[in-house]
Amino acid sequence: MGLNLSNLGSAHTLISLIAIASGLFDLFRYGKITPQSSTGKLYYLTTIITCFTSFGLSKLGGFNPGHAVAILVLACLSVGWILEAKQIKFGKEIQTLALSFSFFLSLVPATLEVLTRLPVGAPWAAGPQDPLVAGFISFWFVLFLVGSFLQLRTLRTLTN
């Protein structure tokens, strides 16, 4: 039976797992995704590759919501990258939030794929509208909000 992944889908999934792991590592180690760290650089690289490979994937054919998420993730990464080089007021705060939001957005399709594919043959969720999917995404969003508050508080403490 299997997961029915194409070669591109398999590569995309493997690379996305590295992106999520490196983002998690930075979040736990530094309290934010840090573009200067080796794992932060790995997060950037693998997330960009994941976004671009997603454009070659579509269960529905053509442009889909996953592609829109990838564009938003790339926009967040771009904001983070640009602000890394700039010394503007609230730059570190915006950068931190943009990179954390990119991580949250990455969890949306990841959650959907896991819940609708596993366990093989009897997935936990029937599709994107399944209440289990909505519950997980809501949980990730609450974690993003709480984490963002804590990140901003930490940044404020460090600058005062």
Q: What is the mean pLDDT of residues 31-47?
A: 96
Residue 122 has pLDDT above 50, yes or no: yes
* CB-count burial class (<10 Å; 0-12, 13-18, 19+) for 47: buried
Q: Domain range for residue 114? A: 7-159
Give domain status of residue 1, yes or no: no
Give domain status of residue 2, yes or no: no
Give pLDDT tens digits for 133-144: 999 999 999 999
**Hey, what amino acid is at 152?**
L
Give domain status of residue 151, yes or no: yes
Give domain status of residue 70, yes or no: yes
Number of domains in the chain: 1
Residue 80 has pLDDT above 60, yes or no: yes
Report H helices in 6-160: 7-30, 38-54, 65-85, 91-117, 131-159
For the full predicted model, state whether its pTM sits above 0.85. Answer: yes
Give domain status of residue 100, yes or no: yes
Q: Quickly list DSSP for 50-92.
A: HHHHHTT--SSSSS-HHHHHHHHHHHHHHHHHHHHH---TTHH
pLDDT computed for residue 2 by the predictor: 64
Query: Which conformational region is residue 90 in: left (phi greater than 0), alpha (psi within -120 to 50 degrees), or beta?
Result: left
Give domain status of residue 120, yes or no: yes
Give domain status of residue 43, yes or no: yes
Give domain status of residue 75, yes or no: yes
